[in-house]
Copies of this chain bind each other. A is one copy, B any other.
């Protein structure tokens, strides 16, 4: 691979001048010389070696992203937004899947520390904090997104999960439902607990006593939600409406409704919490709490860069607002996919 020395030799200048030209730095280079250098670079096909540069400058311009599962549509979308924004600012993104395993999370963190990444964005598994503590100890800029871990000294950017659960449930109550079930996530995960708390609060405010038999807690997966919903629907006094704590779960709810022959929204109204962009394409369209994925990513990148520039600032905590997007599954008139409520989707060719 051709190096700076080769360019310098070819252009008849010293290596320093090549650096000045490449970096467009403050040092001035005579136009004619710059021209010669550029020509040499082009002729030799020279590519600056960023590994060497990183060693020298002690900055890798790399951000690591650790998610529980990139195949989950929420994290996939988040990854896209983050990567785009990082790229715009000259950063490259390293990807890691913790597979919901804290040991794997820790494993990845160690690798990233050795690689001297400039920042780490992590959506914690929520099941163990060794990885997060390791990050905090390393003094690398870092942000937790989507999920928090109490007690970890790190910045966080999350959405208002409690309010989302509240809004979703209140909407169902406004449709006249009183038996509103809740398909919840794992209780150890704070965002799951928060969403369920929102559900409970909305019920209480409406004077409805939350029925423990209408509340389930399991993994955020479709299958678990499918099984949980089946149990609820086959119980003696089934719910007439369901708040699903994630769109992934809503898929399970839809399927379970079909299995027992319940029509949505007539026999069973559904509101969910947006993680997927699938919502407008289900039948009926899925009424859902929209999370501002792009803003989450934007804020995460900003916080990260802030920390890189001011390592000693105290950790921050951002909580972004959510909103209810009404489609057909709650009983409201359904909307068509191209009516503008599919902002998380995007045009253009794609897919495999």
* Chain B residues whose C-beta falls within 8 Å of the C-beta of A55 in the assembled complex: 49, 51-52, 55
Is A99 in the interface zone, CB < 8 Å from B? yes
Report whether A347 and B223 are in contact in the complex, using a CB–CB cutoff of 8 Å: yes
Report whether B338 and A227 are in contact in the complex, using a CB–CB cutoff of 8 Å: yes
21 contacts between A and B (CB under 8 A): A1-B116, A45-B137, A50-B114, A52-B55, A68-B349, A71-B79, A72-B76, A72-B351, A73-B76, A74-B351, A76-B76, A80-B97, A92-B111, A92-B115, A95-B95, A221-B345, A252-B337, A258-B283, A258-B284, A282-B282, A291-B352
Set B69, B83, B138, B221: member contacting A80, Cβ < 8 A: B69
Is A219 in the interface zone, CB < 8 Å from B? yes
Is A123 in the interface zone, CB < 8 Å from B? yes
1/0 contact string of A248-286 vs chain B (CB within 8 Å): 110110110111000000000000000101101111110
* Chain B residues whose C-beta falls within 8 Å of the C-beta of A351 in the assembled complex: 69, 72, 74-75, 185, 220-221, 246-249, 275
Expressed in whole angstroms, the minimum distance between the Cβ of A214 and any Cβ of chain B is: 21
1/0 contact string of A199-236 vs chain B (CB within 8 Å): 00000000000000000000111111011000000000
* Chain B residues whose C-beta falls within 8 Å of the C-beta of A1 in the assembled complex: 116
> Beyond A51-B55, A73-B71, is A223–B345 a contact (Cβ under 8 Å)?
yes
Expressed in whole angstroms, the minimum distance between the Cβ of A273 and any Cβ of chain B is: 8
1/0 contact string of A325-350 vs chain B (CB within 8 Å): 00000000000111000100111111
User: Using a CB–CB distance below 8 Å, which chain A residues touch chain B?
Assistant: 1, 45, 47-52, 54-55, 60, 65, 68-80, 83-84, 87, 92-97, 99-100, 108, 110-111, 113-116, 123, 125-127, 137-138, 146, 185-186, 189, 191, 219-224, 226-227, 246-249, 251-252, 254-255, 257-259, 275, 277-278, 280-285, 291, 336-338, 342, 345-352
Q: What 9 A-B pairs are tightest by C-beta distance, nearest first?
A: A74-B352, A220-B351, A251-B281, A76-B76, A219-B349, A258-B283, A95-B95, A246-B351, A275-B352
How far is it, in angstroms, between the C-alpha of A259 and the C-alpha of B283 when the chains are bound?
A: 9
- Known contacts A78-B352, A221-B346; 16 further A-B pairs (Cβ under 8 A): A1-B116, A47-B114, A50-B115, A51-B55, A69-B80, A70-B76, A72-B351, A72-B352, A83-B97, A185-B349, A185-B351, A223-B342, A249-B351, A255-B283, A255-B285, A278-B278
> Beyond A50-B115, A73-B76, A115-B51, is A350–B95 a contact (Cβ under 8 Å)?
no
* Chain B residues whose C-beta falls within 8 Å of the C-beta of A220 in the assembled complex: 349-351
* Chain B residues whose C-beta falls within 8 Å of the C-beta of A278 in the assembled complex: 251, 278
Q: How many copies does the complex hold?
A: 2
How far is it, in angstroms, between the C-alpha of A71 and the C-alpha of B222 when the chains are bound?
A: 18
Report whether B94 and A92 are in contact in the complex, using a CB–CB cutoff of 8 Å: yes
Expressed in whole angstroms, the minimum distance between the Cβ of A15 and any Cβ of chain B is: 16
Expressed in whole angstroms, the minimum distance between the Cβ of A82 and any Cβ of chain B is: 9
Report whether A114 and B80 are in contact in the complex, using a CB–CB cutoff of 8 Å: no
How far is it, in angstroms, between the C-alpha of A284 and the C-alpha of B281 when the chains are bound?
A: 14
Set B219, B249, B337, B347: member contacting A348, Cβ < 8 A: B219
Report whether B70 and A350 are in contact in the complex, using a CB–CB cutoff of 8 Å: no
Report whether B48 and A114 are in contact in the complex, using a CB–CB cutoff of 8 Å: yes
Closest to A82 in B: B95
* Chain B residues whose C-beta falls within 8 Å of the C-beta of A60 in the assembled complex: 51
How far is it, in angstroms, between the C-alpha of A188 and the C-alpha of B77 when the chains are bound?
A: 26
